[in-house]
Structure 1
Amino acid sequence: MKVAVKQIYTSVACNRVPEIADWNRDGFICYGASNAVVIYDTNLKGQDPLQVLSHHCSKVNSVKWLQKSDTCTELLSCSADKTAAIWTLNNGTWKVTSQLTGHNDGVTCINGVYLDADDLMVYTGSIDSTVRVWERKNGTTAHKQTINLHSGLCLTLHAHILPIANKPILFCALDDHKIHIFSEEDEYHRVHMLVGHEDWVRGLDVVGVDDNTIMLASASQDTYIRLWRIQSHEDKTVEGIKVEEKVFQAYGIKWSVKLDAVLAGHEGWVYGVQWQKVLDKANDQPIYRLLSSSLDKTIIIWQPESHGGVWVESVRVGEVGGNGLGFYGSRFGQDAFMGHGYNGSLHIWKLDKETNQWQPSVVVGGHFSGVEDIRWEGQGRYLLSVSLDQTTRLHAPWNRPDGGGAEWHELCRAQVHGYDVCAAASLSAARFVSAADEKVLRVFRAPHNFLHNFRNIVGEALVGEDDAGPEGASVPSLGLSNKAVFSGEEHTSGDDNDGYFVPIELTEPPTEETLMQNTLWPETHKLYGHGYEVRCADASADGALLASAARAALAAHAAVLLWDTSNWQQIQKLVSHNLTVTQLAFSPDSRRLLSVSRDRRWTVFQRIRDSNLFEIAASTDKTNGIHTRIIWCCAWAWDGSMFGTGSRDGKLCIWSKADTTSDSTLRDYSLLGKPLEVPNTSITALTFAPLQRESQILAVGFESGVIRIYNFDSIWSLLHELDNSAAHHLTVKRLFFRPPRKDSNKELYLASCGSDHFVRINNIILS
């Protein structure tokens, strides 16, 4: 049997640091997401536009395109793993062509310039108080020099080819509020310091003005942007009086520096600046624009009033309300610009040529912290994900009106919470339960506005939109519960107007601002009963029962609680385990409940005939348990004939009902075939494919982030492996195949989530 894998959907936010995203002239955005570099093709429609490059072993701190005049086939990345990398595009594949190692601590900033067609200078700044210079000549990269900053810290750096001399000049913003200028005579040394900012400088960019002049823009936490004009120096005397200028020498040429302008328009720390040089077709003169982003939730485009006039803001966009904290950076694109926000979100504004207005456009997004759990809706129409970033998000396919096919997007953020969310269970098309780092489970119901917009975007009705339900939901000030908002009362509340719900009509996926404020689901119930933080939950296939378990060090606290979803009463406490239950799974017929625990045991509870109560049907103990470490995961086969358990000792066991068994605790369950043993790793997620066939197809997720597809026919055979770039680069937390659909012609959609912040859907094609 052959297995092919097609990437359907990748959802992830960018890391929450400045200079983590860059946009090149070909329309590609690159950004750092956890330890990976993601390349986002903004021109691609109707399929997944993201490509994931896994290489670094720790958080990526900065990525930069290396732009040649016509093409862009290289990029730089640096990471907290003390290394930097040069990536090169070769035959459609991105590969690391040079790994830059030598720093003693995390590398925080990186920049590079081409000296000619292929030779390259790269500069890396690190927490180890050094800036390292690397040179690539004739395809070989070597470390050239270490600039010691003594106890100083380089916050950002920028390199540019100095005119006349045609050699690189390096600007470093240190933690003394000054910008230090370095040039190379045999080796790099400091030639000047720019003084003026009153707080840390966090953004630098340089543009060439003419044959002997460059302009440097610096953005600072003092809320100001300063523009410095650097040009070759001529001694000027005005009637015998010498004009005072700051002068420095580089490459045997005298250069004068003068402060051209101070731009005051932001009210918060300014993190990013970028120049754009465009040609004014009317008079064939270049126009200079400057893009700046700030924590005051705004992005501004600055432009001189007329040629050489006063700098004024020509465009100002941003976020209103919500729980964001502004922008970490921004970049120009083709007739567009992009900002990346405090919550890792990407925002793109495009210029509408007819109205000459900047409009927000549909963009990719995702979680900015580890994703703990995912759930398909019963018919596979959407996927829910919950994360340590304190949100619950809903992903579904958008059928593009231009006929470009289905494109998956985040359609709503049903819950924005005050605690890290760790588990979810889907009850019906319009109801789900989530559990966070608290003792309570919360029940949510889809509001009318969401159901209406879901039908507009996806083209399918989830349930009948009864008008009696709430229109939407809002979170009151200092509150954790989503409060229902009914039709006609949207604007009645005067005191609670922060982040207040406004119903909106959507025909395409919502923007980040809309997601944060207008897509919450109202909370209908809170379930109290656990003595410690809830860790896992599962709902029966018929939606009638919910099981949940909490963190525990004693048998009394490790009990599984059963809830009746018709009235939300707790109906039973199932006591079997001694430590935290790590996962729960109802069988497809809703008649059995499987639990696995840190105590290395599993238990099957059987439903008592004609009731909603359960009793222990089978369990393992020290004598018959195969697992010697924590059992992390469990899953039922789609026909309920067998189940699997995976553990920290790298063992995966399949258990099924046997005709006879002599063991008293196992009753009528026994091990099927031999366990799959994968040494030196932990099995953290597993799921069975929904297929009617003799042997079973399983997807298995590992602590290393890889996902393997196995065939099990009393013996194990590996069919395919998804590596760290195709699957995850940190622990795989959950795997689920999409429930079979009437129209799906046997397509297997595998959803996965991991500690690396990613939610992914892959199409597994068997032949």
Structure 2
Amino acid sequence: MKVNMEQVYTSVACNRTTEIADWNAEGLICFGASHSVVIYNTAERTKDPLTVLSHHKSLVNSVKWLRKPDGTCTELLSCSADKTAAVWTLENGQWTVTSTLVGHADGVTCIHGVYDDEELLVYTGSIDSTVKVWERRNGVTALKQTIPLHSGLCLTLHAHILPTHKAILFCALDDHKIHVYTGEEYHKVHTLAGHEDWVRGLDVLDVDDSTIILASASQDTYIRLWRLQKHVEQAPSKGIRVEQKVFSVYDEQWTVKLEAVLAGHEGWVYGVQWQPCGIGESNKKPIYRLLSSSLDKTLIIWEPESSPQKGEGEGAWVERVRVGEVGGNGLGFYGSRFGPGDKFLGHGYNGSFHIWEFNQETSQWQPSVVCGGHFSAVEDVRWEPRHGRYIMSVSADQTTRVHAPWNNQYGSQWHELSRPQVHGYDLASLALVNSTTFVSAAEEKVIRVFRAPHNFVHNFKNIVGDVIEQDGKGPEGASVPSLGLSNKAVFIGDDEQNDADDDNDGYFVPVDMTEPPTEETLMQNTLWPEVQKLYGHGYEVFALDASADGTLVASACKATTAEHAAVLLWETKTWQQTQKLISHQLTVTQLAFSPDSHQLLSVSRDRRWTLYQREEGSNSFAIAASTDKTNGVHSRIIWCCAWSFDGKAFGTGSREGKVCIWSKSNPTETSLKDYGILGKPLDTNTSVTALAFAPKRERNSLFIATGFETGVIRLYRFDNDGWELLKELDRSTAHHLTVKRLSFKPTEEDKMLLASCGSDHLVRIYSVSVV
């Protein structure tokens, strides 16, 4: 038997650092997401445009393309808090690490690389107060020089090959100054002083064979342009002259003077980039453009005005384009990059991408559809019940997100369509009651119930092409009062509600969408109204599940006593607590209703599972079976559980690496009663953190997806002959940190869809076919 698994969807946001994304002329964006490097093909409109590369052991701090003199990019750089940097090379269509740069004593915070003829020079800055220079010759990369930074921490650096084919290095340190290093042994030759706060962005532009311009962006809200050129003796002048400093570069005299100070941002300026050469008509004098990004929620493109005395592009620097976010809870931009053609990118505090493209017809800059995702660990992911038309995920980034396929003229591609909940606590669990209602749990004692507004149902039909049934029209949307955590319903046409109250930041505005929304729209206009709060737990709610018939919700919280480890049952018509099920001694880690809604399974940190049976004709449950120290099989925490699609068996997975399948068997006098283990346990020797049964059976076999603490996902077949491994997705194709949840699309089709989420911020969907 053969199993094929194909990646359908990947959702993730970039890390919250300044130089975490870069864009090349081929339309590929590289960025760091958790411990991984991601390649985003912006030209891909049908398949999954993201490729996740796993190598680093800690958070990725910076990613940069290596641009060859002809503008092509077949290599990139990454650096990480794991004290290393890496050179990635595209070989036979695959990105592989061809050099690992090891030598820093602490995390590597910034990186830059340049080609010197055919050789490569890489510069890395670290928290250990050094900058290291690496040289690759004849395919071998070695440490060339270590530059001690007596002044302190290197915040960012930029290297450049001068017209004389010699390297010059600019380092922005925590003394607010830019230090210039040249020579074979990289001696400091000059210091550029002027900024009054940390410099966070640097970029260099070639003007001619004897002149370069350095742009520096600072947390003092200003951008400074420094003109460096070969020194030419000039006759003394009686007029006012800009002060010039002379210093030696490779036995040549160079001068530096302050060309301009650009004041337009109102917050810290984190990113600055010159528009790459080669854009525009070659027979004209190039127009220099500079892109900057700031925490004031704006991006600005700067351009020199025409001067009557000096000619076109030689006057004062002015704003040509200003774009950004309006409202919402974003905290501005951490970086920005020019893209191919008339496009540019900004990445924000929430790890979101924003791409603007120039529309020739309207002569306006318009936002484009981009990929997105969570920027912290994804704790849970669930399919829409019955039909599986969308998935919903919750994360420690305090958001709940809806992902669905966008069906357009090019085909079908998954995107984030809605953000029902933007919370103030890290979210932990999720349960969908029906197509339009879900409950979520966070690091609080309250369970919150949400219902889809009319605007979501309307836009879902426009984008996906599928109709979600809704009981009555209900509210149009929702908004969040300032200083509040509850989404407040908004009814269009209700004068009392329609007036934008003073307590609403970013009031909801109905949006008619035919394509996936932008980040601003997601944060402000795709919330779902909160319809109920459920109180009853003494500590933070940790696990949730809803019955397949939509009548019940089960919940459990963090606990160290039997009283607090009780499972609470809620009836969904009135949202009243109907029962308190006491069995476990410690936190219940996962809950699962059987497909027929007649049984409820709980697993716990106390190494036990308990099965509750629904009493005939009521919503009450009683303990039908449980494990104890004598028959439990599991010797460590049971992290996960799942039911087979027909409800005849269930599985449990634990920290010591065992997966057990349980079913009805001969009655016993033990706590198992009518239940027993099927066959032998699967022993993986790796902590099992997620389980899911495929919605089909072939030749009396069960197909079981297992997720591990290592990030690996495996698909097994289980039958009377035991366990058979059918497919393994390693860290490079699955997750590079703990798999938190696996979930199969509930409909039985030739190609099954498996959703997964993990601590690495990723939500993924795989197409699974059994041959």
Deviations 1:148-202 (CA, angstroms, capped at 9, x unpaired): 1135100000001112x211110000000000000023x1110100000000000
Aligned residue for 1:457, secondary structure, equals helix
Q: Which moved further from structure 2: 480-489 or 645-654? A: 480-489
Cα distance in 1 for partners of 2:239, 2:292 equals 39
Aligned residue number for residue 611 of structure 1: 618
Deviations 1:280-304 (CA, angstroms, capped at 9, x unpaired): 6497111100000000000000000
Aligned residue for 1:299, secondary structure, equals strand
Aligned residue number for residue 756 of structure 1: 760
- Backbone CA RMSD of aligned residues: 1.3
Aligned residue number for residue 422 of structure 2: 416
Letter in 2 for 1:330: S
Gaps of 5+ in 2: 307-312
Deviations 1:444-499 (CA, angstroms, capped at 9, x unpaired): 000011100000000001114733x0000000010100000001246512413422
Deviations 1:260-292 (CA, angstroms, capped at 9, x unpaired): 000000000000000014666497111100000
Letter in 2 for 1:478: L
Q: Residues 77 and 110 of structure 1 are in contact (CA less than 8 Å); yes or no, is this contact kept in structure 2?
A: yes
Pairing 1:593-672 to 2, within 5 Å after superposition: 593-658=600-665, 660-672=666-678
Q: Residues 448 and 466 of structure 1 are in contact (CA less than 8 Å); yes or no, is this contact kept in structure 2?
A: no
The size of the alignment, in residue pairs, is 756
Aligned residue number for residue 47 of structure 1: 47
Q: CA deviation at 1:235?
A: 1.2
Cα distance in 1 for partners of 2:54, 2:153 equals 28
Letter in 1 for 2:640: C
Letter in 2 for 1:430: T
Cα distance in 2 for partners of 1:542, 1:724 equals 36
Aligned residue number for residue 257 of structure 2: 258
Letter in 2 for 1:458: V
Pairing 1:205-284 to 2, within 5 Å after superposition: 205-238=203-236, 245-276=244-275, 277=277, 281=281, 284=284
Q: Residues 383 and 743 of structure 2 are in contact (CA less than 8 Å); yes or no, is this contact kept in structure 1?
A: yes
Whether 1:149 and 2:156 are equivalent positions in the alignment is no
Aligned residue number for residue 158 of structure 2: 158
Q: Residues 151 and 174 of structure 2 are in contact (CA less than 8 Å); yes or no, is this contact kept in structure 1?
A: no
Relative distance call for 1:239 and 1:529 in structure 2 (3 A) is closer
* Pairing partner for 1:318 from 312, 317, 324: 324
TM-score (normalizing by structure 1):
0.97
Aligned residue number for residue 389 of structure 1: 397
Whether 1:87 and 2:88 are equivalent positions in the alignment is yes
Whether 1:425 and 2:431 are equivalent positions in the alignment is yes
Q: CA deviation at 1:71?
A: 1.5
Letter in 2 for 1:131: V
Pairing 1:417-566 to 2, within 5 Å after superposition: 417-464=423-470, 466-467=472-473, 469-489=474-494, 491-566=498-573
Q: CA deviation at 1:713?
A: 1.2
Q: CA deviation at 1:250?
A: 0.9
Aligned residue for 2:247, secondary structure, equals strand
Cα distance in 2 for partners of 1:151, 1:300 equals 32
Deviations 1:538-571 (CA, angstroms, capped at 9, x unpaired): 0000000110001110001111001111111111
Aligned residue for 2:680, secondary structure, equals coil
Aligned residue for 1:451, secondary structure, equals helix
Pairing 1:295-374 to 2, within 5 Å after superposition: 295-306=295-306, 307-334=313-340, 335-374=342-381
Cα distance in 2 for partners of 1:753, 1:638 equals 21
Q: Residues 236 and 242 of structure 1 are in contact (CA less than 8 Å); yes or no, is this contact kept in structure 2?
A: no
Q: Residues 607 and 615 of structure 1 are in contact (CA less than 8 Å); yes or no, is this contact kept in structure 2?
A: yes
Aligned residue number for residue 172 of structure 2: 173
Letter in 2 for 1:256: T
Q: Residues 740 and 746 of structure 1 are in contact (CA less than 8 Å); yes or no, is this contact kept in structure 2?
A: no
Aligned residue number for residue 699 of structure 1: 705
Whether 1:740 and 2:744 are equivalent positions in the alignment is no
Q: Residues 542 and 590 of structure 1 are in contact (CA less than 8 Å); yes or no, is this contact kept in structure 2?
A: yes
Letter in 1 for 2:703: I
Q: CA deviation at 1:4?
A: 1.3
Cα distance in 1 for partners of 2:709, 2:293 equals 38
Relative distance call for 1:242 and 1:9 in structure 2 (3 A) is closer
Relative distance call for 1:280 and 1:677 in structure 2 (3 A) is closer
Structure 1 runs (4+) greater than 6 angstroms displaced: 240-243
Cα distance in 2 for partners of 1:245, 1:700 equals 66
Letter in 1 for 2:167: P
Cα distance in 2 for partners of 1:620, 1:676 equals 18
Q: Residues 9 and 765 of structure 2 are in contact (CA less than 8 Å); yes or no, is this contact kept in structure 1?
A: yes
Whether 1:286 and 2:279 are equivalent positions in the alignment is no
Deviations 1:562-582 (CA, angstroms, capped at 9, x unpaired): 111111111100010000000
Cα distance in 2 for partners of 1:514, 1:365 equals 13
Aligned residue for 1:557, secondary structure, equals coil
Q: Residues 279 and 287 of structure 1 are in contact (CA less than 8 Å); yes or no, is this contact kept in structure 2?
A: no
TM-score (normalizing by structure 2):
0.97
Q: Residues 697 and 703 of structure 2 are in contact (CA less than 8 Å); yes or no, is this contact kept in structure 1?
A: no
Aligned residue number for residue 310 of structure 2: none
Q: Which moved further from structure 2: 270-279 or 224-233? A: 270-279
* Pairing partner for 1:192 from 180, 183, 190: 190
Identity among equivalent positions (%) equals 70
Cα distance in 1 for partners of 2:345, 2:530 equals 34
Gaps of 5+ in 1: none
Cα distance in 2 for partners of 1:605, 1:413 equals 34
Whether 1:112 and 2:113 are equivalent positions in the alignment is yes
Q: CA deviation at 1:692?
A: 2.9
Letter in 2 for 1:116: D
Cα distance in 2 for partners of 1:345, 1:49 equals 16
Q: Residues 354 and 367 of structure 2 are in contact (CA less than 8 Å); yes or no, is this contact kept in structure 1?
A: yes
Q: CA deviation at 1:5?
A: 1.2
Relative distance call for 1:457 and 1:242 in structure 2 (3 A) is closer
Deviations 1:23-67 (CA, angstroms, capped at 9, x unpaired): 000000000000000000000111110000000000000000001
Letter in 1 for 2:420: A
Aligned residue for 2:520, secondary structure, equals helix
Letter in 2 for 1:756: D
Relative distance call for 1:279 and 1:727 in structure 2 (3 A) is closer
Relative distance call for 1:239 and 1:107 in structure 2 (3 A) is closer
Letter in 2 for 1:104: A
Cα distance in 1 for partners of 2:702, 2:282 equals 69
